[in-house]
Amino acid sequence: MVDLWDGLVQAFWLVVTLDAALVEISARSLRVTLSALAIASVIAMPLAAFLAVKRFRYRRAVIALLNALMGLPPVVVGLLVYILLSRSGPFGVLGLLFTPTAMVIAQVTIIVPLVASIAHQSLRDLWHEYHDLLISMNVSQGQKMRTLLWDARRALLTAALAGFGRAIGEVGAIMIVGGNIDHATRVLTTAIALETGKGDFALALALGFVLIGLAIAVNLAIHSLSRTEREGRW
């Protein structure tokens, strides 16, 4: 309990004094995760719309695969990305290992199935509603997908925020592909793991509280930016 209290106090002071190291790793956490989220959304949302609209032979298999991949252990993703990006791996020449880019790649891999699955569920429901109308209007596949994506944008925001939550709190994969290098690839979660390893539970907890605060702040910010709460309903 002492550690818990110390952690809260320390978190308070770190934030109040705008501790330089804290600001740096928090900004990096945000930058890596928001980049990953943006890329993952660009991949996952159209994929979800495609799966909702298009009937093809392996559709069910693809959906089942996505759902299964939601539970993919991040460490495994980290290891795969590591092997691919290692100097002796197929993409070694790019020199991406132990860079924030590698961390973005790992996080994208982790959250695409999650975002696509959640997005697909809401798009599928909306497609059920719109199906007759859009078929009757004889619009193209692309138009169907765009219509669903636009009209379900609030639900898609929820999917994106779920992806953000998973990515910002992830440590296993980015530890492996980022290497937790001070001033280069250290982010909040890897710093927490490091401080825990040093037995400095109070600092680790303080960083944990900052992480939670950051996640809440981003959620609120995105919600208010998109005015979800005020318009209500949809």
Partner 1 sequence: MRALFPLELKAAETARRGQRLVGPVDVRLEGAGCTVVIGPNGAGKTSLLRLMHGTARLTGGSLRWGCGEAEARQRQAFVFQQPVMLRRSVEENLAYPLRARGVARGEARAKARVWAERVGLGAMLGRQAPVLSGGERQKLALARALIIGPEVLFLDEPCAALDGAATRDIEAILSEAKAGGTALVMATHDMGQARRLGDEVLFLLAGRVRERSPAQGFFEGPETAEAQAFLRGDII
Partner 2 sequence: MMKRVLAAVAVVWAAGVAQAEDVMRMAVTTSFHNSGLADVLLPEISDDLGLEVQLLVVGTGQALKLGEAGDVDAILVHAKAAEEAFVEAGYGTHRREIMYNDFVVIGPAGDPAGVGEAESAAGALQRIEGAKADFVSRGDDSGTHKKELSLWRAAGLEPERFGAWYKAVGAGMGAALNTASGMGGYVLSDRASWLNFGNKGGLALLYAGDPALFNQYAYIPVNPARHGHVKAELAEKLEGWLVSPRAKALIDGYEIGGEGLFVFNAQ
Contact residues: partner 2, CB under 8 A? 27-28, 30-31, 34-35, 38, 86-89, 92-93, 95, 97-98, 100, 153, 179-184, 194, 196-202, 221-222, 225-227
Phi, psi of 171 (to 5 degrees): -130, -35
* Shortest Å distance, C-beta 33 to partner 2: 9
For residues 127-146, one letter each, b for 16 or more C-beta atoms within 10 angstroms of the residue's C-beta and e for the rest, the string is beebeeebeeeeeeeeebbe
Nearest to 65 by CA among 14, 116, 124, 126: 116
| Crossing angle (nearest 10°) for helices 201-225 and 2-16 | 50
For 95, the 3-state DSSP assignment is coil
Q: Which is nearer to partner 2, 63 or 168 (CB)?
A: 168
Tokens of 149: 């994506």
From the list partner 2, partner 1, none, pick the one residue 155 interacts with, judged by a Cβ distance below 5 to 8 Å according to partner type: none
The one of partner 1, partner 2, none whose footprint includes residue 143, by CB under 5 to 8 A per kind, is partner 1
Q: Which of residues 122-151 bind partner 1 (CB under 8 A)?
A: 126, 129-130, 132-133, 135-139, 143, 147, 151
Return the closest-CA partner of residue 87 out of 72, 74, 99. 99
CB-wise, 13 or 150, nearer to partner 1?
Answer: 150
Q: Are the CB atoms for 160 and 147 separated by under 8 Å?
A: no
- Among partner 2, partner 1, none, what binds residue 179 when CB lies within 5 to 8 Å by partner kind? partner 2
Positions touching partner 1 (CB under 8 A) are 126, 129-130, 132-133, 135-139, 143, 147, 151-152, 233-234
